[in-house]
Chain A
Amino acid sequence: QVQLVQSGAEVKKPGSSVKVSCRASGGIFNSYAISWVRQAPGQGLEWMGGIIAIFNTPKYAPKFQGRVTITADKSTTTAYMEVRSLRSEDTAVYFCARHSGYSYTSDFYMDVWGKGTTVTVSS
């Protein structure tokens, strides 16, 4: 049974960066895509982008293009998501989610989720 284990909570200053990790265990990492979804306090879910692990090819939602970097390390079956130039509006729980297949596009839904990493941006 695949599990996604995320890194711990972070508190960051405005203008700094944060890098969140998501380690996959119990499954074949290369065969799946990973997406990152965030949820601000009291708000809904927002897709940030995804990566096809086997090709290490990321894709970003337009809102996050240029400020977010998603990578994958096949040797450690770990995906990473870095957000730069943090602002207070980035305070949220960040989830990684595995897709049901090798791509993050429409035919491959998000079926397994990590427990989430809380990132707080405050001066």
Chain B
Amino acid sequence: QSVLTQPPSASGTPGQRVTISCSGSSSNIGSKTVNWYQQLPGTAPKLLIYSNDQRPSGVPDRFSGSKSGTSASLAISGLQSEDEADYYCATWDDSLNGWVFGGGTKLTVL
């Protein structure tokens, strides 16, 4: 069981907007910033969003992040076939004194 809870799957058609949620607690999301990673099949994770809502250089503005209380969300607008991947949220947990990840959400573009 992961400390951060994500839906195991999500889907959408090209052009649609999808959101992926990440639920935690006061010792992690509630008091720390959240990062999101995209993992394409057979590759290493890639930083998608950092500090809740910041995009690294090169990440399209179709990807956006937000946080409220002990939950965070990743939104992908204008869905494209190349967005089909696994998405993970991550943050520091003060109780565990370490980094924790969500269980991952597999996004399927129909």
**Residue among B96, B98, B103 with most chain A CB within 10 A:** B98
Contact assessment for B47 and A110 in the assembled complex, using a CB-CB cutoff below 8 Å:
yes
Contacts of B66-110 to chain A: CB distance below 8 A:
88, 90-92, 96-104
A110-B35, A110-B90 as given contacts; A116 in contact with B44, CB under 8 Å:
yes
Contact assessment for B101 and A106 in the assembled complex, using a CB-CB cutoff below 8 Å:
no
Q: Which residues of A contact B92 (CB under 8 A)?
A: 105-106
Please name the residue on chain A nearest to B104 by beta carbon. Answer: A44
B14 within 8 A of A: no
Contact assessment for A111 and B47 in the assembled complex, using a CB-CB cutoff below 8 Å:
yes
Question: What's the Cα separation between A47 and B28 when bound, in Å?
Answer: 14
**Residue among A35, A37, A45, A106 with most chain B CB within 10 A:** A45
Contact assessment for A111 and B56 in the assembled complex, using a CB-CB cutoff below 8 Å:
yes
Give the shortest distance, in Å, between B107 (CB) and chain A (any CB): 14
Q: Which residues of A contact B103 (CB under 8 A)?
A: 44
Number of interface residues of B (CB under 8 A): 26
Contact assessment for A47 and B99 in the assembled complex, using a CB-CB cutoff below 8 Å:
yes
B13 within 8 A of A: no
Given contacts A100-B50, A113-B45, 15 further A-B contacts (CB under 8 A): A44-B101, A45-B45, A46-B101, A47-B100, A59-B98, A61-B96, A61-B98, A104-B99, A109-B35, A109-B47, A109-B51, A110-B90, A111-B50, A111-B56, A116-B44
A residues in contact (CB < 8 Å) with B: 35, 37, 44-47, 49-50, 59, 61-62, 95, 97, 100, 104-107, 109-116
B residues in contact (CB < 8 Å) with A: 2, 32-33, 35, 37, 43-47, 50-51, 56, 88, 90-92, 96-104
Nearest 8 CB-CB pairs, A to B? A106-B92, A47-B99, A113-B44, A45-B101, A44-B104, A109-B35, A109-B50, A106-B32
Q: List 19 A-B contacts (CB under 8 A).
A: A37-B45, A44-B88, A45-B101, A49-B98, A59-B97, A61-B98, A100-B50, A104-B99, A105-B92, A106-B32, A109-B35, A109-B50, A109-B51, A109-B90, A110-B99, A111-B56, A113-B44, A113-B46, A115-B44
